[in-house]
Amino acid sequence: MEEVVQKEEKRAWKTDSNAVKKVTKPVRISQISNEKELRLDTQDQEFNRVLGGGIVPGSLILLGGEPGIGKSTLLLQIALKLAYKTLYVSGEESQKQIKMRADRIHPESENCYILTETKTQNIFQHISTVEPDLVIIDSIQTLHTDYIESAAGSISQIRESTAELIKFAKESSTPVILVGHITKDGAIAGPKILEHMVDTVLQFEGDRNYVYRILRSLKNRFGSTSELGIYEMQGSGLREVNNPSEVLISKNDQDLSGTAIAATVEGMRPLLIEIQALVSTAVYGTPQRSATGFNVKRLNMLLAVLEKRAGFKLAAKDVFLNITGGISVDDPAIDLAVLAAILSSNSDIPIEKGVCFAAEVGLAGEIRPVQRVDQRILEAEKLGFTAIYVSKNNKIGLKNTSINVQLVSKIEDVVKSLF
């Protein structure tokens, strides 16, 4: 445990003397107003969606993500687009660096103020002169407060700085967005308590070598956590991807073997993704199995099922699997598309255009039902697909679809019908 030495001085946002003691009384639940809270429109549809419709006044939002994924870009972009006064506080970059980034992203903004400062007391002083409608802190790990004697980034500094910011946010109704660094194992660096203190925890993720980024909410006191935002990193900042299925499927005119389309659901959003497989005879003794964006253990399991239940000899083959766009998917409903891609590559027969899949595959080779099958079918239909393979055991509520819904119960059914 680190030693915490508290100093005597009064704290900027923690003075008890002038805090009005609010006495709350019990109120009948029926008498509590349920008027919708006003929210700040960020002008970014993806960001609004993930928050549940914009930023709630006085709320604290923590945005986590690996270094270089685009957290600063996303927040600066929002600050520049916003029709309200924003104070962007950076402890990581100089004003010049931020200006250079801003020049790439968006034309001039008269509402965005940049401050490079790490001491909370000074930040609050500037806040009281600028009077911003939104404060962005990049990052919480760089802040330090005078009231605690330990290094910036230490657990007690992070906790104390966050507490001061929460107090400010709640008292002034000004929302605050904090950037939080992520450790190697994916947790937000600093105390776990940070995540309990804030109202909303967002995570920005993706593969840095690819252009797509996903914004998820891990906790949200003001909305659902199943919404998802998708962006594309471009030379001029992050572009909102409002119709993700269209970009995640490559528009190849030739029929290529080894690719199959899966109708997946990420959060609440149906999403069509492309799966590519390459099956080739192993050159060395032990065959290689590798997967990007998909669990290798699951891949091995599916290969074993193919071997045992459908009689395909894949034990001596290398199998490579790739989900295009650099996104990773753990929706079991893409199993069937993974198998179809593998079989297509193995036989070198392309899967017919316009066909997609939405089913889980069990250990006995049975095709299992998936959640929200109707949503998946509708998305596939919307994008012009002509056939979708789903489990016979899936209850389908849709009527009069123009897409051909193929009900299958065993891998053999699929193989017979495809190849």
Q: Which of 11, 39, 49, 71 binds ligand TYD (CB under 6 A)?
A: 71
Asked if 134 is part of the footprint of ligand TYD (rule: CB under 6 A), the reply reads no
99 binds, among ligand TYD, Mg ion, none (CB under 5 to 8 A by kind): none
Q: How many residues bind ligand TYD (CB under 6 A)?
A: 15
Site string for Mg ion, 71-110 (x = CB under 5 A): -x--------------------------------------
Asked if 68 is part of the footprint of ligand TYD (rule: CB under 6 A), the reply reads yes
> In the complex, what is the shortest distance from the CB of residue 352 to Mg ion, in angstroms, rounded to a whole number?
45
3-state secondary structure of 142: helix
3-state secondary structure of 30: helix
Give CA–CA dist 180/119, Å, rounded. 17
Note the residue count of the chain: 419
Q: Which of 64, 175, 206, 237 binds ligand TYD (CB under 6 A)?
A: 237
Structure tokens that stand for 218 in this block: 């891990």
Give CA–CA dist 359/411, Å, rounded. 11
Asked if 52 is part of the footprint of ligand TYD (rule: CB under 6 A), the reply reads no
Site string for Mg ion, 14-53 (x = CB under 5 A): ----------------------------------------
Range 285-288 contact pairs with CB under 8 angstroms and sequence separation of 24 or more: 287/315, 287/316, 287/317, 287/318, 287/319, 288/318, 288/319, 288/320
69 binds, among ligand TYD, Mg ion, none (CB under 5 to 8 A by kind): ligand TYD
CA angle 81, 137, 135 (to 5 degrees): 55
Give CA–CA dist 339/302, Å, rounded. 7
Q: Which of 50, 69, 135, 261 binds ligand TYD (CB under 6 A)?
A: 69
Which among 9-17, 60-68, 158-166, 222-230 is the span making contact with ligand TYD, rule CB under 6 A? 60-68
Structure tokens that stand for 5 in this block: 């030495």
Other residues' Cβ atoms within 10 Å of the Cβ of residue 219: 14
| Cβ-Cβ contacts under 8 Å for 33 (sequence gap 6 or more) | none
> In the complex, what is the shortest distance from the CB of residue 205 to ligand TYD, in angstroms, rounded to a whole number?
10
Q: Which of 236, 243, 250, 371 binds ligand TYD (CB under 6 A)?
A: 236
Whose Cβ is closer to ligand TYD: residue 235's or residue 285's? 235
Whose Cβ is closer to ligand TYD: residue 101's or residue 392's? 101
Which among 6-14, 41-49, 68-76, 403-411 is the span making contact with ligand TYD, rule CB under 6 A? 68-76
Asked if 99 is part of the footprint of ligand TYD (rule: CB under 6 A), the reply reads no
Q: List, in sequence order, the alpha helices (H) in 284-372.
A: 296-309, 335-347
Whose Cβ is closer to Mg ion: residue 238's or residue 355's? 238
Asked if 65 is part of the footprint of ligand TYD (rule: CB under 6 A), the reply reads yes
CA angle 67, 70, 76 (to 5 degrees): 125
CA angle 306, 333, 308 (to 5 degrees): 10
> In the complex, what is the shortest distance from the CB of residue 250 to Mg ion, in angstroms, rounded to a whole number?
31
| Cβ-Cβ contacts under 8 Å for 357 (sequence gap 6 or more) | 260, 261, 262, 263, 334, 336, 337, 340, 388, 389, 390
CA angle 394, 396, 399 (to 5 degrees): 160
Using CA atoms, how far residue 390 sits from 184, 245, 285, 304, 358, in Å, is 38, 19, 37, 21, 5
Ranked by CB distance to Mg ion, the top (closest) residue is 72
Asked if 233 is part of the footprint of ligand TYD (rule: CB under 6 A), the reply reads yes
> In the complex, what is the shortest distance from the CB of residue 223 to ligand TYD, in angstroms, rounded to a whole number?
23
For the chain, the farthest-separated pair of C-alpha atoms sits apart, in whole angstroms, at 79
Asked if 73 is part of the footprint of ligand TYD (rule: CB under 6 A), the reply reads yes
> In the complex, what is the shortest distance from the CB of residue 74 to ligand TYD, in angstroms, rounded to a whole number?
7
> In the complex, what is the shortest distance from the CB of residue 148 to ligand TYD, in angstroms, rounded to a whole number?
26
Q: Can you give the binding site for ligand TYD, defined by CB under 6 A?
A: 65, 67-73, 101, 104-105, 233, 235-237
Residues that bind Mg ion (CB under 5 A): 72
